[in-house]
Structure 1
């Protein structure tokens, strides 16, 4: 990509800012709090109605499940990597390095937002906590849940899949995002808006400046030129 696509960048930025301020400006976060509360209490009631659901939520919020999300993303990446030529595979790996680097930077920028709050399990009283209902190592609370780090990382992965591997990869990445972000909300470690306002708005503001400008391609080209390897381009 040799040009900067200002129109889609500005449109996506406007959507991200509108989404964030629709939550940030109203007193008590307006209708978003009612939605947050409704989503949390719906799943929280289910914890004591179904032991199978309780176990499912506990297991899917164990650290091991995070490794499964990495495996899912890695498997999608591998499916496209294996189709490439030797030089294409090298560039795909470098793209992954650039994606990780950008994810770290964007995540740090996200935490500059002048807003933080505890998870719903720490905010509400007289609620059920998985860690108290089941003796199993799981994460059911966070002292700083906004924006959702896990959700932001998955969204960045989704954006890179769309940019470099196309719409089919994007659709699969969205499915991976939804599958692996839902447990965080079901257990109460995140509010709905931690993900669908916080993570999404940061992604909409930051990611277009990486993917729709020369930044990502430029970093890939730079690393492709200087990183060692048998398929290194000859200049």
Structure 2
């Protein structure tokens, strides 16, 4: 709450706006000077690249899944389903926050010296947003990291944090999101929502309920049965 208030209450968002502006202009200026950097920004913000973030999260989860026994795998299916439900609900609640603004790429579009990365590179990419707060992509990545911490410990959490940083940063660098859309918006919503949901036992209760009601996947513990 303190993080969100430090951004929400000051006029024009105080020092946060200055930080947001400096990040956007510095990166945009470098993209003009270095075409390969501009291409990298465009590629890492292409819609196809979003699939890479899903693959990264899925691969990490699969690593733990394959090292679990049959009972552990069944529980992990329940955890995954609970995580999806949590993400859907928290994402909807996040958009109830009374904040709406365009992305920096659209806000500064008419500013002299600012260029469109999509126009500069001729690569179709996600660059503009009519409402970029909070960062949906960053929020989903953070929810995944929080679940990894709660259910798989620090090692899984640190691995998930690397995924969060790697896949949320391109959105900020290209200007599809302000830095604070993720660092304040996404993070504060996740901290408040999951700070109550995970340690409070609500999610554990949901996982236990799902675990009891999900059909047992005998595929994970199938043994050879002799014929006859």
Q: TM-score range by the shorter chain?
A: over 0.9
Secondary structure of the residue aligned to 2:25 is helix
Indicate the structure whose relative CO is greater, using CA pairs within 8 Å and at least 6 residues apart. Answer: 1
Summarize deviations over 1:135-171 as a string: whole Å, max 9, x none. 2121001000001000100110000000000001111
Match of 2:166 in 1: 179
- Residues 74 and 217 in structure 2, CA contact (< 8 A), matched pair in contact too: no
Report the more deviating stretch, 76-85 or 22-31: 76-85
Match of 1:25 in 2: 9
Cα drift, residue 81 of structure 1:
1.0
Stretches of 4+ moved more than 2 A in 1? none
Gaps of 5+ in 1: 1-16
Instruction: Tell me, in whole angstroms, the C-alpha distance in 2 between the residues paired with 1:208 and 1:19.
Output: 14
Gaps of 5+ in 2: 219-228
Instruction: Tell me, in whole angstroms, the C-alpha distance in 2 between the residues paired with 1:170 and 1:221.
Output: 22
Match of 1:64 in 2: 48
Cα drift, residue 216 of structure 1:
1.1
Instruction: Tell me, in whole angstroms, the C-alpha distance in 2 between the residues paired with 1:90 and 1:128.
Output: 50
Determine which of 25, 38, 41 is the counterpart of 2:22: 38
Summarize deviations over 1:50-88 as a string: whole Å, max 9, x none. 111011000000011100000111111111111111010
Match of 1:87 in 2: 71
Cα drift, residue 215 of structure 1:
1.2
Instruction: Tell me, in whole angstroms, the C-alpha distance in 2 between the residues paired with 1:32 and 1:164.
Output: 33
Report the more deviating stretch, 181-190 or 206-215: 206-215
Determine which of 98, 101, 104 is the counterpart of 2:85: 101
Secondary structure of the residue aligned to 1:117 is coil
Determine which of 119, 122, 125 is the counterpart of 1:138: 125
Alignment pair present for 1:74 and 2:61: no
Match of 1:148 in 2: 135
Summarize deviations over 1:26-62 as a string: whole Å, max 9, x none. 0010000000000000101011111110110000000
Q: TM-score, normalized by length of structure 1?
A: 0.90
Match of 1:189 in 2: 176
Match of 1:212 in 2: 199
Query: What is the Cα-based RMSD across aligned positions, in Å?
Result: 0.9
CA spacing shift, 1:130–1:165, aligned 2, 3 Å: same
Instruction: Tell me, in whole angstroms, the C-alpha distance in 2 between the residues paired with 1:111 and 1:230.
Output: 36
Q: TM-score, normalized by length of structure 2?
A: 0.92
Say which one has the larger Rg: 2
Instruction: Tell me, in whole angstroms, the C-alpha distance in 1 between the residues paired with 2:213 and 2:5.
Output: 42
Instruction: Tell me, in whole angstroms, the C-alpha distance in 2 between the residues paired with 1:203 and 1:225.
Output: 27
Match of 1:203 in 2: 190
